[in-house]
Structure 1
Amino acid sequence: MSAPAWADTSAVVVDLGFGDAGKGVTVDLLCARRRYGAVVRANGGAQAAHNVVAPDGRHHTFSQFGAGTLAPDGPVPTHLSRLMVVDPLALAAEGAHLASLSVPDPFGLVTVDERALIATPWHQEANRIRERARGGGRHGSCGMGVGEAMAYALARPGDAPTAGDCRTPAVLRRKLHRLADHLDALRRELGDGSRTSPDVEDCVAAYGGFARRVRIVDESYLPGLLARAPVVFEGAQGVLLDEWHGFHPHTTWSTTTTANPLALLAEAGRPGDARRIGVVRAYTTRHGAGPFPTEDPSLAGLLPEPHNGTHPWQGAFRVGHLDLAAHRYALAATGGVDSLVVTHADSAAAAGGRLRRCTGYTDRAGRPLVPVPGDAPAPSHPLHPAPGPLDARADAHLRRQAALADALAAARPVLADGPTPPEEIADALGTPLEAVFSGPTRDDARITAPA
């Protein structure tokens, strides 16, 4: 495979939809084309699910390990940055599966910023209690406790456990006991009768094992890494689920645009030293609740999804026609990208001519509806309602996004006949085409390196 023109520049991979567009296979392809110093996670947590199928048939769903771990010239290391919510227990399970795929010493590949929050079983249970309390108005959470960890850290920053705390049992023990008290109070507040609760000492021991197996580093590590070699920033979720630009409340507690990687580069004295790669499917999907103007359930049987399905907390995996209007919104929200990767280009044949494309929306009265991103008040700093108060500006912005969600839920898509070839998708989005996937592996990619 030929190297891209900007081979000495870091790459930022961002999903221009609701997630599941193919960030994992894109990172896998990038790491096959050149050797990067690391794959860096800069948002989200263990709720990510990036499926990679290697040409030899090995399959792994990447959650916290970077999707360059199965690169053909050997695993690319993973760095979990300070903007990641780390789940040590889920990382242990993921590492065990990678070891079963003949990845040598998976945990030796991982560095973790000591400032990164950790998601614990108490966060997970609190997350699920809140979702149960919403009844039919569930937000579509993955139930992994990532948002709860963020919310708890905002409300009680001194009590929020971090990766660095895993090296100090006394500090971690105190914080976990306070988390247990918080969970009990939440149960009483919401009238939840569940009593599932982990043992603090068991978790202290498990997290101590995590601290011994991975390398926990300080704030100097990432700048030093970037000075030695370019990296791939592997985004989680999609721009349309962004904490500020997504359609509230069906969003993630995470900045899913390119803002976090660009902030980390700027902190390291390398502002803008990256090419931004947007990823879209040749049709549109959404996993879980929320507005989806181009949804067409009849496509689901024609476009099988081997690695996605109905999730007990997130909900159904939904399928619809290519939504160019939504992707334009995402591009505006993230400030544009430098190139485009289109996945599932073989879907048109599989759908038997049923796929169409959405060029815009109309409202209930038949008038054009053009969603425009608002002025987000605080990138990289989630302030979703509950728990904790919102400042006036943040509250007004989220109300705006909720109104936009209502409008999109009632919107009618303007559909044009026929599937859209990848080159036409790139033209419609005004972005050079870098690669097209017509199958699940890196060998199924056609490369078109942008100038």
Structure 2
Amino acid sequence: MTTPTAAAAPRTRAAARSALAAARRPADLFPADAADAARSYRRLARLLHPDTAPPAERPAAEAHNGHGRWQGPFRTGHFDAVAHSYAVEVCGGVDALAVTHLDAPGRCGGALRTAHAYRTADGLQDRLRTAPPGGLTRQQRLTESLLTARPADRRSPGTDPRAWCDALAQTLGAPVAMESDGPTAADKTVRPLTGRGSRSRCPGRAPAGT
């Protein structure tokens, strides 16, 4: 690829998606100059943000989650199993899961997916390895590799909330203790724990570095 410049940065959503798909490393997207790179990053982030997507590309709207004064628009999307598994491992495991928005799969007509791998410049990656705290250089390399990662190994648990709970419990290694499929307390269900979480399999384990 040619050396990117701030002036040549994509100016449409379609161009931004094409540039991201073609990139194999951060240098394919961002100029060497730090200020120009920051401008290019902001432009890409704006063009590719879910809130700027055409209506046909957006998940079903959330009736009870709108725009917040501080957090901005409510964000929706597919389930990132790789990132969630990384978070669980960084925490040293979890005892149980609370799964919300279980009404979304039905409202989306089965279109929601779980992504179990990333396609990166280094190939298919289904796990982000943790490390002891303090490895900032390693974390920088990890962040850079994820800038151009694309979801892969997409699966669909369907529209049944129980199927989603079972799939997430299996993926994250912990039972689902609370389910929510609506905005009120009446829409919450607390389940008796029938299994052991990932923390119970790692006694005395300290959280890994992030």
Is TM more than 0.5 here? Answer: yes
Instruction: Identify the residue that residue 206 of structure 2 maps to in structure 1.
Output: none
Q: Match of 2:118, as an amino acid?
A: Y
1:438 deviates by: 0.7
Instruction: Identify the residue that residue 159 of structure 1 maps to in structure 2.
Output: none
Q: Match of 1:406, as an amino acid?
A: E
Q: Match of 1:330, as an amino acid?
A: A
Q: Secondary structure at the match of 2:116?
A: strand
Q: TM-score, normalised by structure 2?
A: 0.57
**Residues 450 and 375 (structure 1), Cα distance of their counterparts in 2 relative to 1, 3 Å cut:** same
Matched, 1:371 2:128: yes
Q: Secondary structure at the match of 1:374?
A: coil
- Within the candidate set 147, 151, 171, 1:413 is matched to 151
1:439 deviates by: 0.6
Q: Name the larger-Rg structure.
A: 1
* Deviation digits for residues 64-98 of structure 1 (CA, Å, limit 9, x no counterpart): xxxxxxxxxxxxxxxxxxxxxxxxxxxxxxxxxxx
After superposition, residues 12-411 of structure 1 pair within 5 angstroms as: 136=39, 297=53, 300-304=58-62, 306-309=64-67, 317-368=74-125, 370-377=127-134, 397-411=135-149
Name which structure has the greater RCO, CA cutoff 8 Å, separation 6+.
Answer: 2
* Deviation digits for residues 76-129 of structure 1 (CA, Å, limit 9, x no counterpart): xxxxxxxxxxxxxxxxxxxxxxxxxxxxxxxxxxxxxxxxxxxxxxxxxxxxxx
For the residues of structure 2 that align with 1:432 and 1:367, how far apart are their CA atoms?
28
1:447 deviates by: 1.9
1:135 deviates by: 6.4
Instruction: Identify the residue that residue 450 of structure 1 maps to in structure 2.
Output: 193
- Is the contact made by 2:99 and 2:180 (CA closer than 8 Å) also made in structure 1? yes
Q: Match of 1:370, as an amino acid?
A: R
**Residues 444 and 310 (structure 1), Cα distance of their counterparts in 2 relative to 1, 3 Å cut:** closer
For the residues of structure 1 that align with 2:52 and 2:78, how far apart are their CA atoms?
7
- Is the contact made by 1:296 and 1:321 (CA closer than 8 Å) also made in structure 2? no
1:369 deviates by: 5.3
1:137 deviates by: 7.8
For the residues of structure 1 that align with 2:156 and 2:82, how far apart are their CA atoms?
16
1:360 deviates by: 1.5
Q: Secondary structure at the match of 1:367?
A: strand
Q: Secondary structure at the match of 2:141?
A: helix
Q: Secondary structure at the match of 1:428?
A: helix
1:310 deviates by: 7.4
**Residues 369 and 340 (structure 1), Cα distance of their counterparts in 2 relative to 1, 3 Å cut:** closer
Q: Secondary structure at the match of 1:427?
A: helix
For the residues of structure 2 that align with 1:429 and 1:418, how far apart are their CA atoms?
16
- Within the candidate set 429, 434, 439, 2:182 is matched to 439
For the residues of structure 1 that align with 2:141 and 2:168, how far apart are their CA atoms?
28
**Residues 444 and 318 (structure 1), Cα distance of their counterparts in 2 relative to 1, 3 Å cut:** closer
Q: Match of 1:413, as an amino acid?
A: P
**Residues 435 and 316 (structure 1), Cα distance of their counterparts in 2 relative to 1, 3 Å cut:** closer
* Deviation digits for residues 218-259 of structure 1 (CA, Å, limit 9, x no counterpart): xxxxxxxxxxxxxxxxxxxxxxxxxxxxxxxxxxxxxxxxxx
**Root-mean-square deviation (Å):** 3.5
Matched, 1:426 2:169: yes
Q: Secondary structure at the match of 2:109?
A: coil
**Residues 308 and 408 (structure 1), Cα distance of their counterparts in 2 relative to 1, 3 Å cut:** farther
1:349 deviates by: 0.9
For the residues of structure 2 that align with 1:324 and 1:433, how far apart are their CA atoms?
15
1:345 deviates by: 0.5
Task: Give % identity.
Answer: 30
**Residues 429 and 348 (structure 1), Cα distance of their counterparts in 2 relative to 1, 3 Å cut:** same
1:364 deviates by: 2.5
How many residue pairs match? The answer is 146
- Is the contact made by 1:300 and 1:318 (CA closer than 8 Å) also made in structure 2? no
- Is the contact made by 2:177 and 2:191 (CA closer than 8 Å) also made in structure 1? yes
For the residues of structure 2 that align with 1:428 and 1:350, how far apart are their CA atoms?
23
Q: Secondary structure at the match of 2:76?
A: strand
**Residues 358 and 367 (structure 1), Cα distance of their counterparts in 2 relative to 1, 3 Å cut:** closer
For the residues of structure 1 that align with 2:104 and 2:96, how far apart are their CA atoms?
21
1:402 deviates by: 2.3
- Is the contact made by 2:116 and 2:126 (CA closer than 8 Å) also made in structure 1? no
Q: Match of 2:100, as an amino acid?
A: T
Instruction: Identify the residue that residue 272 of structure 1 maps to in structure 2.
Output: none
* Deviation digits for residues 159-213 of structure 1 (CA, Å, limit 9, x no counterpart): xxxxxxxxxxxxxxxxxxxxxxxxxxxxxxxxxxxxxxxxxxxxxxxxxxxxxxx
Q: Secondary structure at the match of 1:320?
A: coil
